[in-house]
Amino acid sequence: MKVVVSQQFHWLRLALAARTADKIAMTDAIFTQFAALLAAALLIPSFIFLAYGVNHRNMPFWWTAAFAYLLIFCGSTLAALRNVLPDLAVSLGANALIGYGYFLCLRAVRRVKSCWRFSSAEAILTGVYFVGLVLVVSLANIYPARVALISTFITSVSLGAFFITLRGGANVSRIGDTALLVFAAGNTVFACLRGASALLDGDAHLMTFAFWDQVFFIWSIAAVFCFAFGLFLNGTALISEETRQAFEKERRLTEALTEAFEGQRNLRKLILHELKRPLDALATSVDLTRRGKKGMSADEVTRVDQLIRVATDYLRGIGDYEDIHALFDTPTRTRVNVHILIEDIRNKWGVPVAAVPEAGGTRVAVDLLLFDIAIGNLIENAQKFGAGRTEVCVDLALGDGSVIFDVIDNGPGIPPHEADRVFRQFYKIEADRTAATGGCGLGLYVARRVAEAHGGDCHVVSQTPSTLRLSVPRATAEGGANA
């Protein structure tokens, strides 16, 4: 009786072992077919990524994604040849290539999303995976054990890709992000279930290893295209933004070049107006004296002297600009209370300053020399073109993160169509090209450059009353200025 029972248990163990071997063999066969199909699906997007990487070398995520897919392709191809090549080499090589390919997929997501938080953790995780792979292949080189290991790694990598996509900084394509989220979420769920079923291999249909192995195979084909679609949309959106910025930069350079040419034309025009007249008068006087004729009268001498002074002021203005224009790029900022600037304006320029009560305790970080030049140019401009010196005043107010200085006079003001032109180099309104209102056309230009060097602005507010505004950011607690 005991012999019969023993034989029955022996046959039962053999049947269970045969059943397990059949399931593993069936899974291996499916895996081989899947690996060949996956390898074919990976080629097209990898070549597309390579092409974009060649054309956009400043976007390394194209290269990263291309190499990721090529590595997974090589790993899948190697796995499909498991019946031809040595089993140990295939198990180790295929899983190593596929694992590192998934690591590069995560790196590609990081690069396209410009997110590098906890990036060292994924490198450590990959290292742990390779160590575990060597141990599994060396000690228990069976298919379920390898599946459990790589599924755990894929789950971890996919979770990282999900949170990077969800919380990354560069949100340029919502549809692309959605595709990446679907890729990451699907990989996380199906890899986790596949790994758990490989460890448990329960009899219930929902936890059968063969079932979830096939489900993961089918999903992986879709995951290839989800990842490629998401990365492609994000990448092309970044290319579009880069193109837009390039066009914007070109537009700004074109505007700067046009402004430089216009400045040269204005300079030549001013030279003709401001220097030619006194030189012509002096040449006429010298010629008359040489021929023994009567020289200039007292009125003519006064007129020539006036023209010479205007020309000298003009040349001095150009010389002063040459001395300070290098400071625009590297202003020496000093934290100073606004009430000190108010007192300085009152004492130096003798104009009334009206300020809101809370402005006095506000601080700004400015280059004191450049600020004095800028506000002085605005006040001198107002005094020159205003109806009377005593009508010039400065109103001081607080803006959104800035301090505003409005210079107001009772003159005719700047016409709206000239409101932007007057801030160009050597530009002067035609009606103002007289000896009484001479100048080199740099005062308002310098004022705007000083404001921009501090992160502020200078522009015309209104023609009646004539108001020019200079604004500079308030100082931050660290001593700089608000951006």
- Over residues 248-307, the pLDDT tens digits come to 888 888 887 777 777 666 666 666 565 666 666 666 666 666 666 665 666 666 766 666
Q: Is the pLDDT of residue 322 over 80?
A: no
Q: Is the pLDDT of residue 119 over 50?
A: yes
Choice between 145 and 327, residue whose per-residue pLDDT is larger: 145
- Domain 329-473, CATH homologous superfamily name and number: Histidine kinase-like ATPase, C-terminal domain (3.30.565.10)
What is the tens place of the pLDDT at every residue in 167-224?
Answer: 876 678 889 999 999 999 999 999 999 998 888 865 556 678 888 888 888 898 889 8
Residue 478 has φ and ψ, to the nearest 5°, of -80, -10
Confidence of residue 318 (pLDDT cuts 50, 70, 90): low
Out of 203-212, 359-368, 402-411, the most confident range is 402-411
What is the tens place of the pLDDT at every residue in 130-146?
Answer: 999 999 988 888 888 89
Q: Give CA–CA dist 326/321, Å, rounded.
A: 9
Is domain 2-243 given the CATH code 1.20.1070 in the classification?
A: yes
* For range 416-443, the mean pLDDT: 71
* For range 67-79, the mean pLDDT: 88
pTM over 0.75: no
Over the chain, what is the mean pLDDT? Answer: 80
What is the tens place of the pLDDT at every residue in 434-476?
Answer: 444 555 677 888 899 899 989 999 999 998 889 999 999 998 7
pLDDT at 80: 76
Domain positions in the chain:
2-243, 329-473
pLDDT at 10: 42
At position 212, the amino acid (one-letter code) is W
pLDDT at 359: 79
